[in-house]
Amino acid sequence: MFIDTHVHLNAEQFNEDIEEAIERARQQQVEKMVVVGFDRPTIKRALELAEAYPFIYAVVGWHPVDAIDCTEEDLAWIEELAAHPKVVGIGETGLDYHWDKSPKDIQQEVFRKQIHLAKRVKLPVIIHNRDATEDVLRILREEHAEEIGGVMHCFSGSVESAKESIALNFMISLGGPVTFKNAKKPKQVAEEIELKHLMIETDAPYLAPHPYRGKRNEPSYVPLVAEEIARLKGLPLEEVAEETTKNAINFFKLS
């Protein structure tokens, strides 16, 4: 059994065939999926899906790229939703310095506010980091995020920054990029970081693993991520599937 710990079945790319995509995932033993909201419409949709399917859970939060659009009302709404029994985390939040729609200081402010929120509702934080590792780790330290812990989703950093994250009570989640031939860093992380700190995800519809790179990603591809981790670690696929599933169930407290 596998769990896709970060998937956007709530994105419009799944409007046409969501039921088929879920069915294909289930046929590949992807038995649970965590759907991550990142703005108003996708948060609503994540909750709809979590209510419609017993094996789907929701994470609610505001994406750093759109931090400039996030209002106090939005944060209050997210905090209210956190009480929902199928909401298992706050995010995705974090910093994204690749895009400049939201200035850095606003991204950092909205990130800090979501860490505070997560601490109040006692849920882990789901971190999106692009080109901002130093600031992400600094803010997590300053805000004592280790009290709630979280996950570095679709981790693409170095082994060293993975270890720094683990020291802060964070999990490392690997996605499609670990299967890319030229992806040195994620492969090193998969080799060197102990399985007990790892989870797997697709981040679908983005970042499809090899051999689907460049196409629409979907949750039925998450076993390809586990296969590559198993190959790199020299372990049986079953062990990687079992351990990463156990990690996800404990981390998100899934029933």
- Contacts for 166 with CB less than 8 Å, ≥ 6 apart: 172, 193, 197
Which C-beta is closer to Zn ion: that of 4 or that of 92? 92
Amino acid at 209: P
Which string of x and - marks every residue 79-108 that binds Zn ion (by CB under 5 A)? -------------x----------------
Closest residue to Zn ion, judged by C-beta, is 128
Q: Applying CB under 5 A, what is the total number of residues that bind Zn ion?
A: 3
- Exactly one of 32, 45, 113, 128 binds Zn ion (CB under 5 A); that residue is 128
d(CA 227, CA 221): 10
Which C-beta is closer to Zn ion: that of 3 or that of 230? 3
Which C-beta is closer to Zn ion: that of 59 or that of 229? 59
CA atoms in the 13 A half-sphere facing the CB of 138? 6
- Structure letter (DSSP) for residue 208: P
Q: Binding to Zn ion by residue 45, rule CB under 5 A?
A: no
Contact, 130 vs 106, CB < 8 A?
no
User: Cβ 238 to Zn ion, closest distance in Å?
Assistant: 27
d(CA 200, CA 202): 7
User: Cβ 8 to Zn ion, closest distance in Å?
Assistant: 6
Which C-beta is closer to Zn ion: that of 92 or that of 143? 92
**Would the CA dihedral through 128, 193, 147, 254 be positive or negative?**
positive
Q: Residues in the site for Zn ion, rule: CB under 5 A?
A: 92, 128, 203
